[in-house]
Amino acid sequence: MLKCENVDKVFKEGGGFVRAVSGASLTVAEGERIYIHGPSGAGKSTLLHILGGLSRPTAGKVIVEERDLYRMGDRRRSMLRNRKFGFIFQFYHLLPELTVIENVMMPGMIGSRETRSRIRRKAEALLEAVGMTSRLRHVPGKLSGGEVQRCAIARALINEPEVLFCDEPTGNLDSGMSEEIYGVIRKLSQLRKMSVVLVSHQEVARDFFDTEYFMKDGHLYGAGVSRDEIMSAGGFEGHQAKGRTWG
């Protein structure tokens, strides 16, 4: 349903270039939960933004429903993004002057034909799913870090995305709270057959994802290769040296 093929991303930086992503190919199936891990600077966020229609690759393509995401007009792409994709970033950008329920409703109101009361009911149901029913009328400044995060999850889900993109979604949380957040995302993914692409430099519990990829120095090492296999071949560099890249 969503895939990228041979994606490169090169940034101009100072007088030189940074190759943030190099020849990455990846397919996301319906309902599949993918975890891409790798150290800081590996190119994870860049790849996620490209997959999510937020950043044009230097080379290669991203295909959604057999259409090339970056060959359609900007307006079309942003409509498709709003309809099909949800995003949870490390920094949540909740609007400080709006309450929790208003923040969650906000993306649902943009370009929607649904009534305000229907969007409100959806927002309430999502906030219930993430355990935030008692906080509907709080403003973000009065919430704990975990509560802000759960609110951001509910907001990312208001348009019932087919794919949820998560970039270091539990960055600043303790492990108990992280587990809780992953539990919520997994449950919603199972319930709605929503795909998830999660990138993180942190370890993620095995029962969260279906498929694991590794990323380093812009290269994506794909499914079907265990971490042990990569490490016993001399780590990422060893595999790269042998020309063995997957995905």
Point out which residues bind Mg ion (CB under 5 A): 45
20 near ligand ADP, judged by CB under 6 A: yes
Q: Residue 45 or residue 159: which is nearer to Mg ion going by CB?
A: 45
- Least separation in angstroms between residue 111's CB and Mg ion is 28
Q: Which does 164 bind (CB under 5 to 8 A by kind): Mg ion, ligand ADP, none?
A: none
Contact predicate 59/7, CB 8 Å:
yes
170 near ligand ADP, judged by CB under 6 A: no
Q: How far is CA 42 from CA 22, 38, 196, 239, in A?
A: 10, 6, 20, 16
Q: Residue 45 or residue 149: which is nearer to Mg ion going by CB?
A: 45
- Least separation in angstroms between residue 166's CB and Mg ion is 11
Residue type, 149: Q
40 near ligand ADP, judged by CB under 6 A: yes
Q: How far is CA 241 from CA 23, 217, 247, in A?
A: 15, 13, 17
The token duo for 27 is 């397919």
Instruction: Give me the 54-83 binding string for ligand ADP, x by CB under 6 A, dash otherwise.
Output: ------------------------------
Q: Residue 147 or residue 212: which is nearer to Mg ion going by CB?
A: 212
| Span near ligand ADP by CB under 6 A; candidates 44-52, 80-88, 116-124, 190-198 | 44-52
16 near ligand ADP, judged by CB under 6 A: no
Contact predicate 47/21, CB 8 Å:
yes
Spatial neighbors of 72 by CB under 8 A, at least 6 apart, are: 80
Radius of gyration, alpha carbons of the chain: 18
Number of residues that bind ligand ADP (CB under 6 A): 12
Q: Which does 7 bind (CB under 5 to 8 A by kind): ligand ADP, Mg ion, none?
A: none
11 near ligand ADP, judged by CB under 6 A: yes
| Span near ligand ADP by CB under 6 A; candidates 41-49, 64-72, 78-86, 232-240 | 41-49
| Span near ligand ADP by CB under 6 A; candidates 42-50, 64-72, 146-154, 177-185 | 42-50
| Distance from C-alpha of 127 to C-alpha of 101, rounded to nearest angstrom | 8
Question: Which parts of this chain interact with ligand ADP (CB under 6 A)?
Answer: 11, 13, 18, 20, 38, 40-46
